[in-house]
Amino acid sequence: MNKHSRLHLPSPPSRPGEKPDFSYVHLSAAGAVARPDVNARVRDIGSLSTELVRVLDDAHEAVGPWHPHLDPEELQVGLRHMLLTRLYDDRMQRTQRAGKISFYMRSLGEEAVSVAQCMALRPGDMLFPSYRNQGLQIARGIPLVDLMCQLLSNTRDMCKGRQLPVMYHSKAGNIFSISGNLATQFPQAVGWAMAAALKGEDHLAASWIGEGSSAEADFHHALLFASVYQAPVILNVVNNQWAISTFQGYAGGEQRSFAARGPGYGIAGIRVDGNDFLAVYAVTQWAAQRARTGAGPTLIELVTYRAAAHSTSDDPARYRARDDQEHWPLGDPIERLKLHLIKLGEWSEDRHRALSAELDALVVASWKEAVTFGTMTEGPKLNADLMFEDVFKEMPEHLKRQRAQMRAEKG
Amino acid sequence: MASMNMIQALNSAMDIMLGRDPSVVLMGEDIGYFGGVFRTTEGLQRKYGDNRVLDTPIAEGGIVAAAIGMAVNGLRPVAEIQFADYIYPGFDQIVSELARLRYRSAGDFYAPVTIRTPCGGGIRGGQTHSQSPEGIFTHVSGIKVVMPSNPYDAKGLLITSIEDDDPVVFFEPKRLYNGPFDGDPHKPAVPWSTHPKGQVDEGYYTVPLGLADVVRSGSQLTIATYGTMVFVALAAAAALGVDAEVIDLRSLVPLDVDTLCTSVKKTGRCVVAHEATRFSGFGAEISSIVQEQCFWDLEAPIQRVAGWDTPYPHAFEWEYFPGQARVSTAIKAVMESA
């Protein structure tokens, strides 16, 4: 027993130059976690928030009660979306390095989160993404050209040049505007879901934040309102272990899983292998069925690893071991689904290479098209008058005066 | 027409909108079953159901955020923040989200949320139940800011705010809930039933945002004010025997610059009065606009009347409140500069 109180300062298990150590990540064996009925009471399924739902085992077989039994064609679509997400990220990262866009954020290693979750939901379900959910855009079929035009703030930018790159939205695709402020959209998703329930619709809302931003009050407001009104919402914490340089321990992840916040608020919490496409799909499907059958909201913690830098402005070699991701115990989501499909006899390395080449060509062709709508330095430009529009529905007099002054300044 | 106090007029506005538009929902702390701590939503849950008038957790950030999500999904929420002093936990959702959604999504998404909140002092509320934070919100691009001074305007402005597709923060000067107040707490309270603006149409009507009301025409000076200070200004001018033109701005964003500046150009003198603190208050904006647009017509420097730049103290409420003495000092200053 200590004679004095003590202050605990969370620290990641390894820093640059040290041996990566992920022994702190609690794992369950593939197939080991029971799958409760979708209408199970929260008090009866508390263990889901501390165990780890996994379907793909080390031999790349799908095992256990969470096996979603998807057709091979669906798995191939999932693989395609994940691969396209990665190739898009890779090209856009290099485009930023070449100075052609100002900023970019990759989702390397986290592709299964967005793609599998999106595929487990319906087109009418409203998605409130974070900035690392480009897989949602791709799985919802938003054309790459549209995404690229946003990155370029060009004449076809859906945000009319008002947002930092990657803050996409799609009204037609039911993908909400990404704020750029952290966690703010989490309780908004709950409000959206409350309205859906009030109107008697069976659409649900889903939102994503990182484990780091679960520290924000908005996270707690979201869980509270979801619990109080039993809103049809899926709240996802993507635990990729790092918030820029801040280790997940500083969001409170050392003492209790993030999924365990769910039962604390009286809503289902479930922890899933975020790099296991099948497990992510199955857990999301389960949560969606709960929402649609009046069984209430679900908090899903997707355990994954941010294999890349936070953004193009970040250098993780300054705060974590350089080869960290190679030791990540849950592997790579694309590799794992690929090997599963090969095991099923529904895929091959040759087909994978061919698909990669096809998708990379699509990215390159899309970029060529996107730049015809303008780049940061060349081609058509947005009219600066747009700056004054959409502040209000109708432009008030003082903004009209300021617009006139801005025009005069430009000469 | 019926005689209504401001609470009844606001209740009538929400009653009418709940009846006219199935997308209107009310939400807030204590507003449902109980009818609100000021009784503003009394009877509405009984009449329209608990899925139209929602009691909420005590979490202003959550209330505003949920209202935004509901509005994006086609509803038209009217959220009550129980006291303006409690609005700060919702500030980020108002400033970073509610105010910006239309802009950042290029008009693809918007949230027609009305946030009602009682403000101002004079009810022995101390520093956590007396604030007038309107100037914090007028500084934010993308939200409209409204403050009525009487039952008739309150109802018409609230209906307009609810119907507006832009977000509105609607401040209710709670000292005026039950009657016009001339700044003297020792006089017997005057009920709205004795005042013409307490006669309120029971049906649907609107008062537009961005249109000031000249509540008294005059020739010698202009007093630009709003909220609690409207009747204080009228009383102070009457006591001094000056022919003041008193303008109730009613809506701060958008602001009726034309009515304001037309008046100052006519009178050549201007006093700006609000209950909120002075430094960086909304009065500074009014004063600047008048100076920029009316400088060559001004006979005297513009004077500001405001709350002191301290928190609102419980024990010294009436020393803090910008009553008739403070208004009179300002009126004399602009008149003496001739």
Kindly determine whether residue B106 and residue A189, on different chains, have CB atoms separated by under 8 Å. no
What pLDDT does residue B330 have? 98
CB-based burial, B166-187: b 16+ in 10 Å, e otherwise: bbbbbbbbbbbbbbbbbbeeee
Distance from CA of B283 to the nearest CA of A (A): 17
Indicate whether B86 belongs to any domain. Answer: yes
- Chain B residues whose beta carbon lies within 8 Å of the beta carbon of residue A126: 72-73
Nearest Cα residue to B56 out of B79, B28, B95, B91: B28
Indicate whether B247 belongs to any domain. Answer: yes
- Chain B residues whose beta carbon lies within 8 Å of the beta carbon of residue A195: 69-70, 73-75
Kindly determine whether residue A396 and residue B110, on different chains, have CB atoms separated by under 8 Å. no
Indicate whether B206 belongs to any domain. Answer: no
Which residue of chain B has the CA closest to A186? Answer: B65
Indicate whether B253 belongs to any domain. Answer: yes
Task: Quote the ipTM score.
Answer: 0.97
B129 is catalytic: yes
Q: How many domains does chain B have?
A: 2
B184: enclosing H helix or E strand: none
On whether both B11 and B121 belong to a single domain, the answer is yes
Give mean pLDDT, residues A319-334.
Answer: 94
Give mean pLDDT, residues A387-399.
Answer: 97
Distance from CA of A126 to the nearest CA of B (A): 9
What's the CA gap between B298 and A139, in Å, rounded?
64
Indicate whether B207 belongs to any domain. Answer: no
Q: Where among B152, B169, B200 does a domain terminate? A: B200
What pLDDT does residue A281 have? 99
What's the CA gap between B32 and A82, in Å, rounded?
47
pLDDT digits (tens, 9 = 90+) for B138-171: 999 999 999 999 999 999 999 999 999 999 999 9
What's the CA gap between A147 and A156, in Å, rounded?
10
Is the pLDDT at A334 greater than 80? The verdict is yes
Q: Where among B166, B200, B234 does a domain terminate? A: B200
What's the CA gap between A110 and A131, in Å, rounded?
12
B53: enclosing H helix or E strand: strand B53-55
Give mean pLDDT, residues B277-284.
Answer: 98
On whether both B253 and B137 belong to a single domain, the answer is no
A 312-341: CB under 8 A from B: none
Give mean pLDDT, residues B274-300.
Answer: 98
What pLDDT does residue B338 have? 55
On whether both B194 and B218 belong to a single domain, the answer is no
Give mean pLDDT, residues A306-310.
Answer: 95
On whether both B131 and B244 belong to a single domain, the answer is no
- Closest partner residue to B166 (CB to CB) among A163, A217, A392 is A392
On whether both B220 and B248 belong to a single domain, the answer is yes
Indicate whether B218 belongs to any domain. Answer: yes
Is the pLDDT at A395 greater than 90? The verdict is yes
On whether both B34 and B164 belong to a single domain, the answer is yes
pLDDT digits (tens, 9 = 90+) for A83-98: 999 999 999 999 999 9
In the DSSP assignment, the letter for residue B190 is P
pLDDT digits (tens, 9 = 90+) for B182-208: 999 999 999 999 999 999 999 999 999
What pLDDT does residue A376 have? 87
B96 touching chain A per CB within 8 A: yes
What pLDDT does residue A111 have? 98
On whether both B192 and B221 belong to a single domain, the answer is no
Helix (H), strand (E), coil (C) string for chain A? CCCCCCCCCCCCCCCCCCCCCCCCCCCCCCCCCCCCCCCCCHHHCHHHHCCCECCECCCCCECCCCCCCCCHHHHHHHHHHHHHHHHHHHHHHHHHHCCCCCCCCCCCCCHHHHHHHHHHCCCCCEEECCCCCHHHHHHCCCCHHHHHHHHHCCCCCCCCCCCCCCCCCECCCCECCCCCCCCCHHHHHHHHHHHHHHCCCCCCEEEEEECHHHHCHHHHHHHHHHHHHCCCEEEEEEECCEECCEEHHHHCCCCCCCCCHHHHHCCEEEEEECCCHHHHHHHHHHHHHHHHCCCCCEEEEEECCCCCCCCCCCCHHHCCCCCHHHHCCCCCHHHHHHHHHHHCCCCCHHHHHHHHHHHHHHHHHHHHHHHCCCCCCCCCCCCHHHHHCCCCCCCCHHHHHHHHHHHHHHC
pLDDT digits (tens, 9 = 90+) for B91-144: 999 999 999 999 999 999 999 999 999 999 999 999 999 999 999 999 999 999
Contact predicate A187/A225, CB 8 Å = yes
B21 touching chain A per CB within 8 A: no
Distance from CA of A302 to the nearest CA of B (A): 24
On whether both B265 and B292 belong to a single domain, the answer is yes
On whether both B289 and B189 belong to a single domain, the answer is no
What pLDDT does residue A2 have? 79
Which residue of chain A has the CA closest to B76? Answer: A195
In terms of pTM, does the model score above 0.90?
yes
- Chain A residues whose beta carbon lies within 8 Å of the beta carbon of residue B56: 225, 228
B61 touching chain A per CB within 8 A: yes
Is the pLDDT at A1 greater than 80? The verdict is no
CATH number at residue B230: 3.40.50.920
pLDDT digits (tens, 9 = 90+) for B12-42: 999 999 999 999 999 999 999 999 999 999 9
pLDDT digits (tens, 9 = 90+) for A253-279: 999 999 999 999 999 999 999 999 999
The average confidence (pLDDT) of chain B is: 97
Contact predicate A275/A109, CB 8 Å = yes
pLDDT > 90: percent of chain A: 97
Indicate whether B108 belongs to any domain. Answer: yes
Is the pLDDT at B263 greater than 80? The verdict is yes
Q: Residues A383, A386, A388, A394: what is their CA dihedral angle, to the nearest 10 degrees?
A: 130
Domain that holds residue B156: 2-200
On whether both B238 and B168 belong to a single domain, the answer is no
What pLDDT does residue A306 have? 97
A38 touching chain B per CB within 8 A: no
What's the CA gap between B152 and B10, in Å, rounded?
9
Catalytic residue among B129, B139, B186, B195, which?
Answer: B129
What's the CA gap between A138 and A146, in Å, rounded?
11
CATH number at residue B171: 3.40.50.970
Q: How many CB pairs under 8 A join A and B?
A: 139
On whether both B184 and B222 belong to a single domain, the answer is no
Superfamily classification of domain A42-60+68-316+323-380: Thiamin diphosphate (ThDP)-binding fold, Pyr/PP domains (3.40.50.970)
- CA-angle at B283, arms to B275 and B93, nearest 5°: 80
What's the CA gap between A273 and A51, in Å, rounded?
10
Residue labelled with tokens 């400088």: B295
A 156-215: CB under 8 A from B: 158-160, 162-163, 167, 169, 171, 176-177, 179-181, 184-196, 198-199, 205
On whether both B24 and B87 belong to a single domain, the answer is yes
Q: Where among B173, B200, B227 does a domain terminate? A: B200
